[in-house]
Chains A and B, each alone.
Chain A
């Protein structure tokens, strides 16, 4: 009897938390709509072009809306594919594929590639889709442009494409090494792991930002 009651009260509490969660989400969406209203107000003042009012062609969505939609995308991913969203494994497999191309199948004997076999799978297609999705978004909003030197870099270090590529390459090497070392990146640990309340992922996310902030302040 007491057991059942406890079970029941736990169920009630659970349902309440779900309801509160959804209410909070709704609140966030409302907040985002307020942001949009501001955009509309600016339109009335005539300072914004038509393009910024269409949801598909406007340049930016509110970060809260984007975050909520990414969270919902992770539901789809868990439900339909039984996979968390994660990106960096695909790079490791690609590294293996590139090495295999140059050195032959003996590369697969490496213990790491036995664990992460260098072939195209779900995560790899995820990254391929990601590139096309970003391309589509950029084309629709008219943001697509080929550039080597980002604006902020240009302001600080001038138009120095070679220097930018070299620094990006060095950063990429550290990131590729670190992502495998920590067994995940900003997606795999930072979003998918943390949303499952995984201890290692929360620690990893924290370390990503500590390292990132330190490096960024040294550079700028």
Chain B
């Protein structure tokens, strides 16, 4: 682990900016900062978004787990529960479908000049996040606790210590999915 590098505050802010720059460049070049591409995915006739997300998952997974096995990286696992993940995920999804951007692609859309993202989406998102902070004390005592499954990974769920078979199957599944998509001409 590169703890020394991780603890250098200013350098980290610069790194964050550079990584963000690349991320924004890639999202824009991939087309997914455009409303039309996102809606095309959600209306199920343009699969660009799925292709990008799934190939990022496959690539990222192999590298991150490899670095972890060499002690160069550690995982950051988000805990979840039915009340938080499923309910929150569906609320997010509804907003996603109404707005036509997700938080990352919306920031990219602002960069390419989409004013509906800036004056509609970003403002709305800040209102939504602020509203959440207000109701959080109530939610955290009630619904967020419902059906808690904690910090769980798929290998953990299957009781496997070795994550590589799972990684292999997930990659395989993704590749098969791509082949199906391409064969269907999507």
Q: Please tell me if the beta carbons of A134 and B25 are within 8 angstroms of each other in the complex.
A: yes
Residues of A within 8 A of B81 (CB): 200
Distance, CA A67 to CA B32, complexed state (A): 11
Residues of B within 8 A of A218 (CB): 97
- B61-98: CB near A (< 8 Å → 1, else 0) gives 11111110100111111111100111111111111111
Given contacts A94-B126, A174-B95, A216-B42, contact A134 B24 (CB under 8 A): yes
Q: Please tell me if the beta carbons of B58 and A176 are within 8 angstroms of each other in the complex.
A: no
In the assembled complex, the CB of A150 is this many whole angstroms from the nearest CB of chain B, namely: 4
Give A170-220 interface residues, CB cut-off 8 Å to B: 170-220
Asked if B142 CB lies within 8 Å of chain A CBs, one says no
Asked if B184 CB lies within 8 Å of chain A CBs, one says no
Q: Which of B84, B114, B128 contacts A172 (CB 8 A)?
A: B128
Chain A residue total in the interface (Cβ 8 A):
137
Inter-chain CB contacts under 8 Å: number: 558
Asked if A48 CB lies within 8 Å of chain B CBs, one says no
Chain B residue total in the interface (Cβ 8 A):
135
In the assembled complex, the CB of B26 is this many whole angstroms from the nearest CB of chain A, namely: 5
Q: Please tell me if the beta carbons of A214 and B97 are within 8 angstroms of each other in the complex.
A: yes
Q: Which of B13, B111, B115, B133 contacts A92 (CB 8 A)?
A: B133
Residues of A within 8 A of B48 (CB): 63
Distance, CA A179 to CA B131, complexed state (A): 12
Distance, CA A98 to CA B151, complexed state (A): 32
Residues of A within 8 A of B42 (CB): 209, 212-213, 215-217
Distance, CA A14 to CA B178, complexed state (A): 24
Residues of A within 8 A of B43 (CB): 213, 216-217, 220
Residue of B29, B39, B75, B178 with most partner-chain A CB within 10 A: B29
Q: Please tell me if the beta carbons of B23 and A85 are within 8 angstroms of each other in the complex.
A: yes
Distance, CA A182 to CA B96, complexed state (A): 13
Given contacts A78-B67, A197-B155, A215-B96, contact A132 B21 (CB under 8 A): yes
Q: Please tell me if the beta carbons of B78 and A21 are within 8 angstroms of each other in the complex.
A: no
Q: Please tell me if the beta carbons of B55 and A68 are within 8 angstroms of each other in the complex.
A: yes
Q: Please tell me if the beta carbons of A171 and B115 are within 8 angstroms of each other in the complex.
A: no
Distance, CA A96 to CA B153, complexed state (A): 31
Q: Please tell me if the beta carbons of A25 and B103 are within 8 angstroms of each other in the complex.
A: no
Please list the 8 inter-chain residue pairs (A to B) with the smallest Cβ-Cβ separation, ordered nearest first.
A211-B93, A172-B124, A176-B128, A200-B80, A168-B120, A129-B20, A215-B97, A71-B59
B interface residues (Cβ-Cβ under 8 A, vs A): 1-2, 5-6, 12-31, 33-36, 39-40, 42-44, 48, 51-67, 69, 72-81, 84-100, 102-117, 119-134, 136-137, 139-140, 144, 149, 151-157, 162-168, 170-171, 175, 178
Q: List 14 A-B residue pairs with CB atoms under 8 Å apart, sorted by A's residue number.
A: A10-B162, A69-B26, A94-B129, A121-B13, A134-B109, A171-B95, A176-B95, A182-B87, A198-B77, A203-B86, A208-B102, A211-B92, A213-B97, A218-B97
A interface residues (Cβ-Cβ under 8 A, vs B): 10, 13-14, 17-18, 20-22, 24-25, 28, 60-61, 63-64, 66-85, 87-88, 91-92, 94-96, 98-99, 110-113, 120-138, 141, 143-153, 161, 164-220
